[in-house]
Amino acid sequence: MSIQLNHTIVSARDPQASAAFLADILGLAAPVPFGRFYGVTLDNGVTLDFLQDDDEISIQHYAFLVSEEAFDEIFGRIRARKLPYWADPRHQQADQINHHDGGRGLYWNDPSGHYLEIITRPYGSGS
């Protein structure tokens, strides 16, 4: 058996809203409730399980490798919602995308402040 990431827990102020936000932006199926969690399943079977957290949330980073076509669709949804986005994780290059490794990428935040990223090429894979 190969080793694969199966799921991870994502702390959220409102787990249902945060899970729905991510699923909607990425064009994925609606979140599935499981106990106290709201799970968003990615195309490779990994699940992001959103969980209520009333304490100070430690901001995390979640990067999604997407096709060029999916990038256009996701970017369109980000712009349609007038969400702030950046070409860099430090939020210095507002309203821009990056072209690392010959692909495209951008960052935006979820409702709990987590840094979300889409890229069309894995880091270190190209020019």
| Percent share of the chain, pLDDT over 70 | 99
- For the segment 84-109, the average pLDDT, to the nearest whole number, is 97
CA dist., res. 81 & res. 99, Å (int): 23
pLDDT of residue 127: 63
Q: At residue 119, what is the residue type?
A: I
Confidence of residue 104 (pLDDT cuts 50, 70, 90): very high
| 23 contacts 15 by C-beta, under 8 angstroms | no
Confidence of residue 126 (pLDDT cuts 50, 70, 90): confident
- For the segment 69-92, the average pLDDT, to the nearest whole number, is 97
Fill in the DSSP letter of residue 29.
P
Residue 1 has pLDDT above 80, yes or no: no
List pLDDT tens digits, range 33-78. Answer: 999 999 999 999 999 999 999 999 999 999 999 999 999 999 999 9
- For the segment 7-31, the average pLDDT, to the nearest whole number, is 98
pLDDT of residue 76: 98
Q: How far is CA 9 from the centre of its chain?
A: 13
Please name the residue that has the structure tokens 């199926």: 29
